[in-house]
Amino acid sequence: MTMQQLRNFPVLDQIWQRLQKLPKPQTEESVILRILVQTLVIVGIIATDVAAQTTMSIWAIPLSIGGSTWSWYRRKYRNITTKFLIAMGMLLTLPIFFGNIFANLNDTRLVLAELLVQLQVLHSFDLPRRKDLGYSMVIGLILLGVAGTVSQSLNFAPWLILFLLIALPVLILDYRSRLGLESIDYIWLNPKFNKSGKTAQNLRKYSPISPKNLTVFFLIVVLFGLLIFAIMPRFPGYQLQSFPVSSPMNLDNQNFNGQNRGIVNPGYVKDGLGSGNNQGKGTGEIDGTFYYGFNNKINQNLRGEMERKLVLRIRSQAAGFWRVMSFDHYTGQGWEVSREDQLQSIKRRPWSYQFYLGIPALKLQTKKVIQTYTAVSELPNIIPSLSYPESVYFPTPEIGLDPEDSLRSPAGLLEGLTYTVVSQVPYRNREKIGTASENYPDKIRKHYLEIPKEIKEKVKKQTEELLAKSAKPLSSTYEKTLYLTQAVKQTYSIQPELPFLAENDDLVESFLFKSGGGYPDHFATVLTVMLRSIGIPARLTVGFSSGQFNPFTGYYLVHNTDAYALTEVYFPEFGWFTFDPIPGHEIIPPSIEEDNTFGVLGQFWQWIAGWLPSPVTSFVATIWTAITGFLFAIIGWFWGLFSGSILGIFAGLIFLTGLGFLVWLGFNQLSSLSYRLRLAKLPPMARLYEQMLLVLKEKGYPKNPAQTPLEYAKNYQDKNEAKAEIIAEICQAYVSWLYGNNPQNLPYLQQQLKVLKRSLNRLKTN
């Protein structure tokens, strides 16, 4: 159906006639601005593709370029047919958008980005005005923002820098266009200037988009951006709480069954399957890729090292030990999960990815911490998380929870799989936990106090000897555990060339009485057994350390070599808490108690401190600690003073209002003082001219920065203003002095300025 046939409908014909009567658009004639805006959009599309690993740019970029070219040649026409087709195309994108958004309710960022790309392609066929180009600029910026939130690596950084390089001249040209200044296209694109020699070169040299000027602007923006990025405080509680879930393959049919309820670690050979050479028992070599501890049974009579490999990217509101699983039964040379058959299967609703686990009631305050995990390489069917996960958002129809509070997936974690965990992490209050009783439930005594009879007395005696060396009485279970952890760390050492254990040798006995140490994971085994020997329930737990935090992406980068074992100790009514006895590690792993508000600035300082002498770093650290301590103390005092009651809240609001008024008043006074000091440094004629501009600005007649003094004066002559003669006289005198170096009658001009002030005051009164 042609457009002429559509006009046979009365409604459409009326719309057509109204569109025909519309005035032609004021077109944007700058070719350079159009090209740069189009390039800006292309960078945004490519950045989204790179960050999300999609392929939108294959079709969107050529279509967008074609549309921009069409809109350039048709910029002086109304293009009613084109507008109609664009509107139809936008309507067709709606059902596609809603279909995609319902299919990806877990994470809608890429769906929205795809919609923006589709709209931009349609929009590119009708870009006559500067305002239309502004829409494209905003779409490019939004696409870059989406790419920034999706990106998990620094692959996004080059596109951000390129976007900034293009955005600077775009903003300059857009601003010139808003002011109505002459386009600079003739300097760069007119062939006549290519033959005019030195004149053309000078014009291009001092052009606002010359490479030299743009380079200076770019460096200033980058330096200020990095400075703001470094000093900006990070408040985890104010982060957006999104729950991304995705998978590189369909996991909707992955379930637990009788043959697949355990952990399948490719590093172990199991029933003829697997690619590794680790063995469940006996001597052997550690697999170079997969951590040996992620299995139903772990053999600690293995030797060797893993090759470093990135396995997880984690975005979390707090650092911590990414817990994987725990073991309750010590075998003499390793550990195993004794209640493997008691794995609990938890199912989710078909319309939601959420698995609700719940947490036990504890006598401690907790903090909700949201973590999003993305597998960078293959992992066993385990689900790392912070302690006490309350909810898990995972792409399979069910997950497993074993008696050791470990989460398990029915399928291995493949590269690209993303899931989210919401944990209620308890604050580690040493004073409160120290009050825990030693009245353990029967279930805890049965599984977490077990120790081989052959070594029990020897280990108990050695443990008591270490505790007896304490300089002060150890009155609580928590203090005993803390002291014993430190004693193991200081008494024994890591043995990189540790020989294999014989078939009947016990790992703990050999560690304590023969070798004087062992591999890093052996320290956690020894501490766990020593605690059990004196009646403190403990278990071995494996997982990942926090990894390396990347301040530019906001992700923790976790490698396979970050996996290790530590000891979890049970305190009645307070739950399980971890202790790390490995030499070189902190006794207590990173947790929510650590303040990362100025984490990026701290990392930058650590880099600087590596180049400075120790006395200098110690002095700066002392000063910084004193300043931050004072600031936090003042903030805490004010918060406690004004938040205790309703009256306190009202008093706080009144105080903040008064403080804001004083700050505003002080700022105005400083601005006035700065202005007077600047005027005092000017020559008398320039000072008089600036005073006139200030008076006119205060009365509602500001000067546009793009106007010359004579253009500003002519503006009032055209309006037949009574004060126009005085303004023109002072402006003419200023130009004559500035460019002709001609002396002026300053007393007369100062008198005229006073007359102008009186005239403006009378106009305001009337």
Per-residue pLDDT tens digits for 572-627: 999 999 999 999 899 998 877 655 556 566 666 666 666 677 777 777 778 877 77
d(CA 138, CA 143): 9
pLDDT band at residue 198, thresholds of 50, 70 and 90? Answer: very low
- Residue 393 gets the label, from left (phi > 0), alpha (psi -120 to 50) or beta, of beta
**pLDDT of res. 737:** 86
Number of H helices, E strands in the chain: 25, 21
pLDDT, average across residues 476-484: 93
- The separation between the first and the last C-alpha atoms of the chain, rounded to the nearest angstrom, is 65
- More confident: 467 or 625: 467
**pLDDT of res. 112:** 85
- More confident: 552 or 43: 43
Other beta carbons within 10 Å of 695:
15
- Locate the domains of the chain by residue range: 20-183, 288-432, 437-554+561-590, 612-642, 682-765
DSSP string, 212-273: HHHHHHHHHHHHHHHHHHHH----GGGS------B-SS--TT----TTS-S---TTB-BTTB
Is CATH 3.10.620.30 what the domain over 437-554+561-590 is classified as, yes or no? yes
**pLDDT of res. 270:** 46
d(CA 475, CA 484): 13
d(CA 562, CA 329): 24
Q: Using alpha carbons, list the distances in angstroms from residue 80 to 20, 83, 126.
A: 8, 5, 10
Question: Among 383-387, 393-397, 483-487, 552-556, which stretch is predicted with the lowest mean pLDDT?
Answer: 552-556
- Tokens representing 146 are 């989406």
d(CA 84, CA 17): 14
b or e along 231-245 (b: 16 or more beta carbons within 10 Å of the residue's beta carbon)? Answer: eeebeeeeeeeebbb
**pLDDT of res. 155:** 79
pLDDT, average across residues 233-241: 48
pLDDT, one tens digit per residue, over 106-122 is 667 788 888 888 989 99
Statement: residue 311 has pLDDT above 90:
yes
- Tokens representing 357 are 């686990």
- Tokens representing 264 are 């399948």
Per-chain mean pLDDT for the chain? 82
pLDDT, one tens digit per residue, over 350-369 is 888 889 998 888 888 888 88
pLDDT band at residue 83, thresholds of 50, 70 and 90? Answer: confident
Which residues are CB-contacts of 516 (< 8 A; sequence separation ≥ 6)?
A: 492, 493, 495
**pLDDT of res. 390:** 93
Q: Give the up-direction half-sphere exposure of residue 627: CA atoms within 13 A in the CB hemisphere.
A: 6
d(CA 404, CA 443): 12
User: pLDDT over 90 for what percent of the chain?
Assistant: 27
pLDDT, average across residues 289-302: 90
d(CA 546, CA 373): 12
Helix (H) or strand (E) holding 568: strand 563-571
**pLDDT of res. 532:** 95
Tell the burial category of 606 from Cβ atoms under 10 Å away from its Cβ (0-12, 13-18, 19+).
exposed
- Top-confidence range, 94-108, 118-132, 650-664: 118-132
Residue pair 515/495 in contact by the 8 Å Cβ criterion: yes
Beta-strand relationship, 548-550 and 555-559: antiparallel
Statement: residue 274 has pLDDT above 60:
no
d(CA 69, CA 22): 24
717 three-state secondary structure = helix
- The partner residues of 589 in beta bridges, in order of sequence, read none
pLDDT band at residue 246, thresholds of 50, 70 and 90? Answer: confident
pLDDT, average across residues 126-155: 85
Helix (H) or strand (E) holding 506: none
pLDDT band at residue 291, thresholds of 50, 70 and 90? Answer: very high
**pLDDT of res. 605:** 65
pLDDT, one tens digit per residue, over 321-361 is 999 999 999 999 999 998 888 888 898 888 888 899 988 88
User: pLDDT over 70 for what percent of the chain?
Assistant: 82
761 three-state secondary structure = helix
Statement: residue 63 has pLDDT above 80:
yes
Which residues are CB-contacts of 648 (< 8 A; sequence separation ≥ 6)?
A: 641, 642
Angle at 192 between CA 189 and CA 196, to 5 degrees: 115
494 three-state secondary structure = strand
Helix (H) or strand (E) holding 551: none
Beta-strand relationship, 493-494 and 517-518: parallel
- More confident: 599 or 37: 37
Question: Among 124-138, 191-205, 469-483, which stretch is predicted with the lowest mean pLDDT?
Answer: 191-205
Which among 547, 560, 538, 488 has a CA at the least distance from the CA of 518?
A: 488
Statement: residue 237 has pLDDT above 50:
no
d(CA 357, CA 709): 73
**pLDDT of res. 385:** 94
**pLDDT of res. 186:** 57
Which among 262, 231, 274, 412 has a CA at the least distance from the CA of 339?
A: 262
- More confident: 657 or 21: 657
Q: Using alpha carbons, list the distances in angstroms from residue 583 to 188, 580, 586.
A: 66, 9, 8
pLDDT, one tens digit per residue, over 687-727 is 888 888 888 888 777 887 778 888 888 777 655 555 788 88
pLDDT, one tens digit per residue, over 516-564 is 899 999 999 999 999 999 999 999 999 999 998 887 777 889 999 999 9
Statement: residue 226 has pLDDT above 70:
yes
**pLDDT of res. 13:** 65
- Top-confidence range, 85-94, 457-466, 702-711: 457-466
Amino acid 641 reads L
**pLDDT of res. 271:** 41
pLDDT, average across residues 8-19: 65
Backbone angles phi, psi at 253, to 5 degrees: -105, 10
